[in-house]
């Protein structure tokens, strides 16, 4: 009975992680589309465009990717604890 509960918890956790990854991908796609639109609408010098893209990519990494990695780490720890317990 306890095993069933643990398996259910793991499945739920995996679903949450999948949802986060999908959301992250969607966010990145949206940002890329917005960037493309901006580049089409406002013709600026290439260097400026590249700088903007780089800044946005760095911001995305910090805002989106790091929390997801932290969550994954927490999940791994929880799984280990459940396994030991």
Query: Tokens 């929390």 sit at which residue?
Result: 67
**12-59, pLDDT tens digit by residue?**
888 887 787 788 778 878 877 877 777 776 665 766 777 777 787 777
| Contact assessment for residue 52 and residue 35, using Cβ atoms and an 8 Å cutoff | yes
Whether the model clears a pTM of 0.85, i.e. scores above it, the answer is no
Q: Per the structure block, which two tokens stand in for 82?
A: 């459940």
Over residues 50-80, the pLDDT tens digits come to: 777 778 777 777 777 777 777 777 877 787 7
Q: How far is CA 59 from the centre of its chain?
A: 12
In angstroms, the CA 69 to CA 24 distance is 11
Asked if residues 27 and 59 have their Cβ atoms less than 8 Å apart, the reply is no
* CA atoms in the 13 A half-sphere facing the CB of 80: 6
């Amino acid at each position: 009975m306890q095993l069933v509960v643990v398996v259910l918890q793991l499945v739920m956790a995996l679903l949450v992680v999948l949802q986060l990854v999908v959301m992250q991908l969607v966010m990145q796609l949206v940002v890329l589309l917005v960037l493309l639109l901006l580049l089409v609408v406002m013709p600026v010098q290439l260097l400026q465009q590249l700088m903007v893209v780089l800044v946005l990519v760095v911001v995305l990494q910090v805002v989106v990717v790091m929390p997801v990695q932290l969550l994954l780490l927490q999940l791994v720890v929880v799984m280990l604890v459940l396994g030991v317990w």
